[in-house]
Structure 1
């Protein structure tokens, strides 16, 4: 599972050739969520503050996330995405 960004203790990753719809995984400690790239719908459990950071990052990088989704579907290494500052 390629890690595409890390910030504030949060790890963002995508699996190669993962199932639809396009999404990514965010981990924070023992919490994990899956976030739909197109809609921003969140599945799973995350602390509220950490989730706000992830969704802010999501809004800033939606286009790059879709590009990385397509790269991962081809089983290639995705590009790193800037962390949230």
Structure 2
């Protein structure tokens, strides 16, 4: 599962050949979540409200880059790193 970004202790990853809808994975300590790229909503799992807010803020900034990576993952191509939230 390639890591595409890391900030404030949160690790953002994508799987190759993952199921629809387009989404990314977040790990934060023992918490895990899946966030949809198109609607920026929690698809599965759980994050503390502050962590979820930071992830959504980051994803809103890089939504097109996330979709580009989703398409690259469909093709089993190398994913691009995305700038962390600062």
Question: Normalized against structure 2, the TM-score is what?
Answer: 0.96
Give aligned pairs, total.
85
Structure 2: how far apart are the matches of 1:22 and 1:51? 18
Unaligned runs of 5+ in 1: none
Show structure 2 runs of 5+ residues with no match.
none
In the TM superposition, what is the alpha-carbon distance from 1:28 to its structure 2 partner?
A: 0.0
For 2:31 and 2:77, the matched residues in 1 are separated by 27
Determine the structure 1 residue equivalent to 2:33: 33
Runs of 4+ in 1 over 4 A off after TM superposition: none
State the partner residue of 1:76: 77
* TM-score calculated relative to the size of structure 1: 0.97
